[in-house]
Structure 1
Amino acid sequence: MPWDLAVVLILLLVCVVLFILDRPRMDVVALSAMIVLPVLGIISVDQALAGFADPNVILIAALFVIGEGITRTGVALEVGRWLARNAGSSEPRLLVLLMLSVGILGSVMSSTGIVAIFIPVVLSVANRMQIHPGRLMMPLSVAGLISGMMTLVATPPNMIVDSALESRDFEGFSFFAFTPMGLVVLGISTVYMLATNRWLDRPGSVSQKRSRRRSLKAFVEDYRLQNRAFRLQVASESALVGRTLREIDLRQRNGVNLIGIERMSNGQKRILNPIAQTEIFADDVLLIDLVDPENDLQRFTEDMQLERLPLKGVYFTHQSQYVGMGEVAVSPESNLVGKTLVDAKFRNEHGLSVIGLRRGGEAITGPVTDEHFRPGDILLVIGPWKQIHQLQSQQLDFIVLSLPIEIEDVAPARSQARFAILSLVVMVALMVSGVVSNAIAALIGCMLMGATRCIDIEIAYKSIRWQSVFLIVGMMPFAVALEETQGIEMAVGLLMEVLGGAGPHAIIAVLFVLTTSFSLVISNTATAILMAPVAMRIAEQLDVSPYPFVMTVAIAASAAFMTPVASPVNTLVIGPGEYRFSDYVKIGTPLTLLVLIACVILIPLIYG
């Protein structure tokens, strides 16, 4: 084996191991490899940096913005409400409508984004129908993955295999080229989930014990907050008067979480949302959460010269016109993962306090300040309703799982919904017609979203999942390096030697198995980057059309059903569905085999 190929394979193996360990982040690993390859002289600098100029990378970034516009204008939320209205009391009808809705919407926006939007909808419907949410969360994630098989722009692997075709001077896939296989897989999966979702039930679980519609009081009970709330009035001689919250630092010094400040202004009581610069006045009433029950409240009030006032109702539910709560889950792609509340500066960044944490379905008792966030952690936040509403547009870090009955869902740009739909229609029409390239069509859609105030420039930049973008850019040089060092040639030769004189059906089956196996341990995007050149070279050696082989890679890359870590979509539903690792294996393995059979039979017929 040539030394340069050995170096590439060793580097690739190191990347795979780091991807599995998820330390450091995948994008950091990929970008590091992108630097190492030209430094070692394996590829040129231009080849290493070519991904930044790839039209498909621009297209992927633009589609994140389009998806955010659809979310902020409430279009996706309205689809969810339509689903809840039309499902009635029939669970099978609900499951079918859910999978169809997610499959269709996910074909033009991020599958992670669409699943994040539908999680609270599904939780609400499950509570209303009094069924365990686990019966619906797995179908939701499956439909989210399958949505990536519906159109050319539905998921990065589709665009990667399309780019592989064009790099060899073949005509790329059309916008709806993936749709026939996507519809078949969606149909198979829907029937399969109808037959198997009962396996995901959890009799007597925490979720089934909850009321149909959760209130603020239900949140208080679930997170055991009953004895943690107090109202304390500031005396004129108190040491707190005239000082800012940054100066007194109640949380770190006294184990006290300040939820709000009651202040009289012009004869009317207001509830202030405390921030670092807020100054304490005499006669202010502090709404506090005693973070650590072991703290001595009596000593704190005496030292700070505070008078304890009666608290109406349970916790701060009597202040519901000012103070809201919500449950949010930490996204697998979140920058919060591995950080504590203090590290993340959660209060300063979001204007909300975290007062509860559920992990693995159980509420953690005691202070959560020093807990390091993990993917799937469910946080109970408290603060102004406006700030809680704003969390719904920050799906990159976490997603809103459930809100109490005291709140109405409000999209930040609901009045612009018709313009968001128009922008989406224009983008799709341009892509289908071929008048301009797909990347230009997506950028036009973004500009229309901005011009019609569906989204502003700041939100647009924040909506792009830069981790995904840089992962793609960083992995692209590996495909070039394997080509340059004859690695792909050797892999294809070995594969053809093992298969002997096997026909295209057997080769499609092997490609499918290899691709799904890789996608279990590394991202489906990285898998597609590595496997697409292999599929192209196999077609060249057999002197047949490459389309069936690259289509197999694309479909298999999205068929990540078998483990919770195979895709962020799967990870998102672990907490709400109360799943175990074995649930994914039990449900995902037979489904993957069914999709494999469908691909072996239909792909040669449709794309041959």
Structure 2
Amino acid sequence: MLTFDMAATLAILAGAVILLVTEVIRNDVIGILIVLALTFSGVLTVQESLSGFSSPTVIIISCMFIVGKAILHTGVAQRVGDFIIRRGGRNEKRLLTMIMGASASVGAFMSSTATAAIFIPITLAVAEKTRINPKRLLMPLAFASLISGMMTLVATTPNIIVNGILRERGAETLGFFSFTPFGIVILALAIGFMMLFGQNMLAPKVAPAEQKKGLSIDDLLRYHEINKSLSFLHIPRGSDLVDRSVARMQLSARFGITLLAVESAGQGRKRVITAAKPEMVLQAGDLLMLIGTDAQSQAFIKEFSLERVSAPASRRKSFFQVVGLAEVMLNPESSLIGKSLKETLFQTTFQSMVLGIRRKGKTQTEELADIPLKFGDVLLVCGAWADILRMERNKSQYLLLTLPQDYKEVVPAPQKEKVTLAILGVMVAAMASGLLPPVTAILAGTAALVLAYCAPMNSIYEVVDWQTVVMLAGILPLVLALQKTGLLSLASDGFIGLLSGSGPFMVLASLFLITAILGFFLSGTAVAVLVAPMAVDIGLKLGISPQACAMTVAIASSAVFVSPLGSAVHLLVRDPGGYVAKDYAKVGTPLLVLSLLATLALCWFFYLR
């Protein structure tokens, strides 16, 4: 017979599921409402209702958002993307393997959604360069990003949840790499399936239609007819430029050229690129990036015995990681109107140089200092990215019209890449060896990344998805309520009654399918919170390895291949890939079946034999 507490808990559970499916209110608000409902109904005490906020699971998830930001902030993820483009060539099968393999590897240490967000522009760039229909690459990317959640303990929230349930039940927990064999096998099956069948089920191998995209730096230079006069010059020993400041040289007045950036020797053997500043002193071995006509550049080279250096795409990209371009238009009330750049001390005031003034459809790039500015003038400015972004605050003077898409690829702290990899390596080693509990290792690793400035200290709270954190902290006490009221035992007993006499494979298959079906409508986190406790209890009562039951639920929580509503990853690729619901169903269903079979086989190998 149902008690009041049981009825209240079931009502709260039903209400939470309805709200999560319909998404009529935000997830974090749902979490708070669950806490309030459990408290006011008397099912849990105040301390029990708030216990989710002190859960190691919640702390780990919060920290992993910051770890993921560090991977982006220091360029670790971007380096992987560049490697794909460089090594993949135009072979579609090789590119598919590298994209899926790289996203699954990077996603082993950050969220699936963040992984997909990183690799979508990379995949689109690969598709454009190789003339491959992006529809054949983006869904495989989404599947690989989801499979990345099967790679390590911290790869996704459900893994941490099921491990926490095992710990609460007093069972042996899963190791950091216990998930890895499952992830590798399912990834291999996914790559093979997509190569043989999946891609052809999605779209024919035809060149995509031309799509409108944002302007790049090269587009802006070409539009303003500056692309032909971008030069790279090396300062040899003995040059008269050595030990002279940029301001002293008066390059614009004497030669008509503009120095944009300088690559110089940093600490050790590392080269450092910095935006050109008047006080900068040039040294032998420096590499200059400047703009000028061929005649102007040649005169400058001859005067100071410089050496012209080739400008491959990789070198240009390296410089444009530091300096950038933008278009700004003067406002009608701007105090700059009627004054020249020299009169306004533009470079000193805004820490940026004007490369061109576009007026009435024509761009002037020479003798700019004495031209009076007019309303409607579009200035092509160059400077460090931070200075360009700072210009957006001066809305009383001008509007920032065009910020090239290259800004999205800028790595804010590339010098911290090795430090980030070292900290991540120590963190993983501490968890894998059992030297520290996962929550302690991850908390220490996150603190180290922040203190080492591998993650932006002034915005670490902004990178945490607080909706997810608060939702999870609110849902976790619901599991406690299900357990405290005896509903979890009733559900486990009912499930056991249905499967009495069935073998372990039938039990695991049923758990996998229940989890996967719920994942059509609910997030993997919510599904794991609801199903994992029951799964572990069933394993303990039936004498089936609780680790096998927990692993089955964790893998199924990430295997949301069939429904576009099951994960934010699908929503990210849906529009750029032009997918509809049936695309996910026809490609995702076979992959879900393969994942089920692989999970059963590996559970038998590791836990049941």
Deviation at 1:434, TM superposition (A): 1.6
Q: What are the Cα deviations for residues 496-539 of structure 1, in whole angstroms up to 9, with x where unaligned?
A: 22223111100111101111111111111011011111011111
1:54-203 alignment runs, 5 A limit: 54-195=55-196, 196-201=198-203
1:33-52 alignment runs, 5 A limit: 33-52=34-53
Q: What are the Cα deviations for residues 347-401 of structure 1, in whole angstroms up to 9, with x where unaligned?
A: 9998699xxxxxxxxxxxxxxxxxxxxxxxxxxx97564xx7xxxxxxxxxxxxx
Number of equivalences: 477
Q: Which residue of 2 aligns with 1:566?
A: 566
1:45 and 1:192 map into 2 onto residues whose CA distance is 50
The answer to whether the 8 A contact 1:127-1:213 is kept is: no
1:552 and 1:318 map into 2 onto residues whose CA distance is 59
1:534 and 1:208 map into 2 onto residues whose CA distance is 50
1:63-462 alignment runs, 5 A limit: 63-195=64-196, 196-201=198-203, 207-210=208-211, 234=332, 240=333, 264-267=340-343, 310-312=360-362, 321=381, 383=401, 385=403, 403=405, 409-462=409-462
**TM-score after normalising by structure 2:** 0.72
Deviation at 1:607, TM superposition (A): 2.3
Q: Structure 2 regions of 5+ residues with no counterpart?
A: 221-326, 351-355, 364-375
Deviation at 1:263, TM superposition (A): 6.8
The percent identity for this pair of structures is: 34
Deviation at 1:604, TM superposition (A): 2.4
Could you tell me which amino acid in structure 2 is paired with residue 48 of structure 1? S
Q: What are the Cα deviations for residues 219-270 of structure 1, in whole angstroms up to 9, with x where unaligned?
A: 9xxxxxxxxx997884xxxxx467xxxxxxxxxxxxxxxxx99973325795
2:586 and 2:348 map into 1 onto residues whose CA distance is 50
Deviation at 1:85, TM superposition (A): 0.6
Q: Which moved more, 1:84-93 or 1:442-451?
A: 442-451
Deviation at 1:322, TM superposition (A): 5.1
- Does the residue aligned with 2:521 lie in a helix, a strand or coil? coil
1:504-523 alignment runs, 5 A limit: 504-523=504-523
CA, structure 1 residues 351+554, in 2 after alignment: closer, same or farther (shift >3 Å)? farther
1:525 and 1:118 map into 2 onto residues whose CA distance is 23
Q: What are the Cα deviations for residues 40-82 of structure 1, in whole angstroms up to 9, with x where unaligned?
A: 0111222111111112211111111111111001110010000
1:352 and 1:564 map into 2 onto residues whose CA distance is 42
CA, structure 1 residues 324+568, in 2 after alignment: closer, same or farther (shift >3 Å)? farther
The answer to whether the 8 A contact 1:79-1:101 is kept is: yes
CA, structure 1 residues 545+408, in 2 after alignment: closer, same or farther (shift >3 Å)? closer
Deviation at 1:557, TM superposition (A): 0.4
Higher-Rg structure is 2
- Does the residue aligned with 2:340 lie in a helix, a strand or coil? strand
The answer to whether the 8 A contact 1:67-1:110 is kept is: yes
CA, structure 1 residues 32+272, in 2 after alignment: closer, same or farther (shift >3 Å)? farther
Q: What are the Cα deviations for residues 559-603 of structure 1, in whole angstroms up to 9, with x where unaligned?
A: 111122211111111122111122111211111111112222321
Q: Which residue of 1 aligns with 2:26?
A: 25
Deviation at 1:465, TM superposition (A): 1.3
2:391 and 2:495 map into 1 onto residues whose CA distance is 52
The answer to whether the 8 A contact 2:133-2:206 is kept is: no
CA, structure 1 residues 565+4, in 2 after alignment: closer, same or farther (shift >3 Å)? same
The answer to whether the 8 A contact 2:21-2:521 is kept is: yes
The answer to whether the 8 A contact 1:135-1:197 is kept is: yes
CA, structure 1 residues 233+478, in 2 after alignment: closer, same or farther (shift >3 Å)? closer
**TM-score after normalising by structure 1:** 0.72
Q: CA RMSD for the aligned pairs?
A: 3.5
Q: Structure 1 regions of 5+ residues with no counterpart?
A: 220-228, 235-239, 243-259, 275-284, 288-308, 326-346, 354-380, 389-402
- Does the residue aligned with 2:108 lie in a helix, a strand or coil? coil
Q: Which residue of 2 aligns with 1:291?
A: none
Could you tell me which amino acid in structure 1 is paired with residue 42 of structure 2? G
CA, structure 1 residues 126+384, in 2 after alignment: closer, same or farther (shift >3 Å)? same
The answer to whether the 8 A contact 1:99-1:190 is kept is: yes
- Does the residue aligned with 1:208 lie in a helix, a strand or coil? coil
2:394 and 2:432 map into 1 onto residues whose CA distance is 44
CA, structure 1 residues 474+199, in 2 after alignment: closer, same or farther (shift >3 Å)? same
CA, structure 1 residues 264+416, in 2 after alignment: closer, same or farther (shift >3 Å)? farther
Deviation at 1:481, TM superposition (A): 1.0
The answer to whether the 8 A contact 1:323-1:382 is kept is: no
- Does the residue aligned with 2:50 lie in a helix, a strand or coil? helix
The answer to whether the 8 A contact 2:58-2:473 is kept is: yes
Could you tell me which amino acid in structure 2 is paired with residue 543 of structure 1? G
Deviation at 1:480, TM superposition (A): 0.9
2:55 and 2:473 map into 1 onto residues whose CA distance is 9
Could you tell me which amino acid in structure 2 is paired with residue 179 of structure 1? T
CA, structure 1 residues 194+204, in 2 after alignment: closer, same or farther (shift >3 Å)? closer
- Does the residue aligned with 1:473 lie in a helix, a strand or coil? helix
